[in-house]
Amino acid sequence: MSQNIESKVVVITGASSGIGESTARHLASLGAKVVLGARRTEKLERITQEIRDGGGQAEFLTTDVTVASDLKALVEKAIATFGQVDVIINNAGLMAIAPMSETKTDEWDRMIDINIKGFLYGIAAALPIFEKQGSGHFVNISSVAGVKVFSPGGTVYSGTKFAVRAISEGLRHEVSGKIRTTTIEPGAVDSELKHGSSHQDSSDFVKDFYQIAIPSDSVARAIAYAIEQPADVDINEIVLRPTVQD
């Protein structure tokens, strides 16, 4: 158990795999009450049950982050189940890598919808609650690709992750005082994310590059570190990557 995590109610998007799943399991093991959102209901059901079987407290709601009302419902589910929301982790994401010349506009749209609009809808759902409570914590998952443009191939993905970082920083300025904002910028992490590309050469590149990937637990621990700080300490940004990653 961790004193500043125990009993906190933490909403996590993209909690059906990878970083979101690891974070839900890790925070629950430290005593948080976790509320999982994603589209794959069966995966959420299984992870939630396993957390409960291990003595943790968890709830889930099938959530598509591209639908603003789904995020509102997820936050409302957390309040109905556990009485409040202390942290929202805006984590759901898609990485569809391809050179710009492929003009994969459908994939650009999907990345913008999930990575930017989905993240904004998470803010819109939680901010009124945080303001009413007089406390809260946004943990927003950007990327090393939100610090340095990951090209060729990752230009649009990087654009979405730069947007997450920029909006998080603006949000921090607007709400600082009682509400904390943390941006997490991971490097290569082993998860399903690497399968998001429909462009064969880019997919092969990602598969090769991700041989150095670190486990998603590494990011879960970084998130826990930000949450467990006392209320007067806001960890603004954490960049973490495999030691061997440039």
Q: Assess 226 for contact with ligand NDP (CB under 6 A).
A: no
Full strand arrangement of the beta sheet holding 57-62: 57-62, 33-38, 9-13, 87-90, 136-141, 179-186, 237-240
The answer to whether 127 and 88 have CB atoms below 8 angstroms apart is no
What mask of x and - would describe binding to ligand NDP in positions 33 to 62, judged by CB under 6 A? Answer: -----xxx--x-------------------
Q: Assess 147 for contact with ligand NDP (CB under 6 A).
A: no
Q: Residues with Cβ < 8 Å from 229, sequence gap 6 or more?
A: 4, 235
The Cα 71–Cα 79 span in angstroms is 13
Q: Alpha carbon 67 to chain centroid distance?
A: 16
Q: Assess 18 for contact with ligand NDP (CB under 6 A).
A: yes
The Cα 205–Cα 108 span in angstroms is 19
Q: Assess 158 for contact with ligand NDP (CB under 6 A).
A: no
Q: Which one of 121, 157, 210, 225 is the catalytic residue?
A: 157
Q: DSSP letter string over 84-101?
A: ---EEEE---------GG
Q: Assess 32 for contact with ligand NDP (CB under 6 A).
A: no
The answer to whether 122 and 70 have CB atoms below 8 angstroms apart is no
Cβ-based nearer residue to ligand NDP, 3 or 211: 211
Q: Assess 188 for contact with ligand NDP (CB under 6 A).
A: yes
Q: Which of 5, 12, 19, 223 binds ligand NDP (CB under 6 A)?
A: 19
Q: Alpha carbon 10 to chain centroid distance?
A: 12
Q: Assess 141 for contact with ligand NDP (CB under 6 A).
A: yes
In eight-state DSSP terms, residue 5 is T
Q: Residues with Cβ < 8 Å from 246, sequence gap 6 or more?
A: none
Cβ-based nearer residue to ligand NDP, 184 or 232: 184
Q: Name the residue type at position 176.
A: S
Q: Assess 122 for contact with ligand NDP (CB under 6 A).
A: no
Q: Assess 197 for contact with ligand NDP (CB under 6 A).
A: no
Q: Assess 193 for contact with ligand NDP (CB under 6 A).
A: yes
Cβ-based nearer residue to ligand NDP, 7 or 117: 117
Active site residue 121: no
Q: Which residues are at the interface with ligand NDP (CB under 6 A)?
A: 13-20, 38-40, 43, 63-66, 91-95, 114, 118, 141, 143, 186, 188-189, 191-193, 216
Which positions are annotated as active-site residues? 157
